[in-house]
Structure 1
Amino acid sequence: MSDIRYVRGDATAVSGAGAQVIAHVCNDIGGWGRGFVLALSRRWPEPEAAYRAWYRGRADNDFALGAVQLVQVEPRLWVANMIGQHGIARGGKSVPVRYEAIDTALGRLAPKAAELGARVHMPRIGCGLAGGRWSHVEPLVTERLVKRGIAVTVYDVGESGG
């Protein structure tokens, strides 16, 4: 078992041989337009389009807190849209992050990443606009991914993503 690898850089510019998954946290209200998702959309249109279609069809699919949608963007690269925040921050005292949902989503991502033989890359998920604390999220990443033998790289940049 290895630890989480921390690097400075762009979580959308992953490198390395083999399959790769970029994991990030989305909200449960269909909003896509601030934070890390903008960097994703600058590189690939597919994650946003898939998320919006998933949200529109939510009456007939699994779109909910804790759900994961894996979207292939290149031959050996996927983006994991993980529903881990309830609503969006509106200036109040409550934060939209839902640690239980992130935990569930990571648990659902693990077998998919293992099946692909993929490394998982992410910003500090849930800690940007979702308002979470990495001290709460890091143990979830360790438990759900690292302890299952999945290599994880966390990217730190000038602005928080997630």
Structure 2
Amino acid sequence: MKEICGDLIKLAMDGEFDVIIHGCNCQCQMGKGIALTIKKLFPDAYAADCETEKSSKGKLGTYSFAEVENSGHHFTIVNAYTQFHWRGTGVKADYEAIRKVMVAVKKQFTGLRIGYPLIGAGLAGGDWARISQIIDQELEGENHTLVRFVSG
């Protein structure tokens, strides 16, 4: 796993990534964190989320996606269903769902430049050491990069 600091969305809009992945809950909300920014900037990504069944536990480990273009740069936004809901305290990240999503992402987007934030370790409260190990295992051999958020 490569690691850089920056703004994942800006980097994608500047052509640095072909695919960006962000963690979503299964409630079709995209109401906080990077998901909210994506919802505001890329309505097609939110529309793809809304086309899935709201509150379905069956979504865990799957994803929806939208292909977007910005200033001549084309990239895909993957809404990865890595947690069921956002309510309450404690860990909401589902580690097995993260694994399943990464397996599926590798199948569909192999050979592309993939970027992601701290999926499951921010608002979802997951253990990044555990999550990063899952991502490294499942995206082995792919060009994938963790982007730690730094505005600017």
Do the structures match in fold with TM over 0.5? yes
1:70, distance to aligned residue in structure 2 (A)? 2.4
CA RMSD of aligned residues (A): 2.3
Match status 1:64 vs 2:62: no
Identity of aligned residues (%): 27
Which of residues 104, 113, 116 in structure 2 aligns to 1:119?
113
1:158, distance to aligned residue in structure 2 (A)? 4.8
* Whole-angstrom CA distance in 2 between matches of 1:126 and 1:111: 21
Corresponding residue number in structure 2 for 1:97: 93
Query: Post-superposition, which runs of at least 4 consecutive aligned residues in structure 1 deviate over 3 A?
Result: none
Corresponding residue number in structure 2 for 1:153: 145
> Which structure: greater strand fraction?
2
Q: Which segment is superposed worse, 38-47 or 99-108?
A: 38-47
Unaligned runs of 5+ in 2: none
* Whole-angstrom CA distance in 1 between matches of 2:7 and 2:49: 21
Unaligned runs of 5+ in 1: none
Q: TM-score, normalised by structure 2?
A: 0.85
**Contact 2:99/2:138 (<8 A) preserved:** yes
**Contact 1:54/1:63 (<8 A) preserved:** no
Which of residues 128, 138, 145 in structure 1 aligns to 2:132?
138
